[in-house]
A and B are shown apart, each in its own frame.
Chain A
């Protein structure tokens, strides 16, 4: 069953704007990972945040984690047309298995 729920399901913005996607989950986790998928191709790993971390940065990406609310957010700053993709959160437990959310389809208009 799906662990995470992303919102929004779809997001359309203009180039240069910031994009924020949210992920909620139900059970306790060891880590939460964000992935990008372009047009039904393979997944590209973006960032991992551990359960004892609250915020991480990587380039134009900022991820937050609130374990008390069982939620995470992914912020992409200064978006580009090349950021157009589906974004998935996935929660990891102690058994290395990942449980994926439904994903957010981000469209960045030039």
Chain B
């Protein structure tokens, strides 16, 4: 398995500002992903964080709104830019360790935008 930490665990932000969420894994992993979980909803994949290249975004998500960095095989950041109340969600990173396709999730970052 993999131990994943996220910072911050929660934050309350003002409309129009940006927040960067960090995801740290205790081992090198090939695949890292970012998900969003809106209140009372299921998880939706935002993008695949690629090491050394631009992230691959899912339909409905764009780089200008959710820029992602992946400087190495253990770390990634997701920025939520120019926030509005609709961005209030839990943001989760996950990793696929390459061991039997199991994905492990971080504890999530609960974001509230006022």
What residues make up the interface of A, taking CB atoms closer than 8 Å to B? 2, 30-31, 33, 35, 40-45, 48, 88, 90, 92, 96-103
Say whether B31 faces chain A, with CB atoms less than 8 Å apart: yes
Residues of chain B at the chain A interface (Cβ within 8 Å): 1, 31, 33, 37, 41-45, 48, 90, 92, 94, 96, 100-108, 110
In the bound complex, what is the Cα–Cα distance between A88 and B92 (angstroms)?
A: 15
| Cβ contact within 8 Å between A97 and B105 | no
Measured between C-beta atoms, what is the minimum distance from A51 to chain B in Å? 11
The docked-state distance in angstroms from the alpha carbon of A2 to that of B58 is 13
Contact call B100/A48, Cβ cutoff below 8 A: yes
- B92 x A97 contact (CB < 8 A): no
- If over half of B's interface residues share one DSSP class (helix, strand or loop), that class is named, otherwise mixed; here it is strand
CB-nearest residue of chain B to A42: B107
Residue in A31, A33, A41 whose CB lies within 8 Å of B108: A41
Could you tell me if A92 and B101 are in contact, using CB atoms closer than 8 angstroms? yes
Q: Could you tell me the distance between the alpha carbons of A42 and B3 in the complex, rounded to whole angstroms?
A: 12
**Residues of chain A contacted by B43 (CB below 8 angstroms):** 43, 88, 90, 98, 100
| CB nearest to A97 among chain B residues | B45
Cβ of B44: which chain A residues have Cβ within 8 Å of it?
A: 100
Q: How far is the CA of A102 from the CA of B48 in the complex (A)?
A: 21
A91 to chain B, nearest CB (A): 11
Q: Chain A residues near B103: list those with CB within 8 A.
A: 33, 45, 90, 92, 96, 98
B101/A30 in contact, CB under 8 A: yes
- In the docked arrangement, what's the CA distance between A54 and B107, Å? 31
| A8 and B92 alpha carbons, distance in the complex (Å) | 25
A97 lies within 8 A of B48 (CB): yes
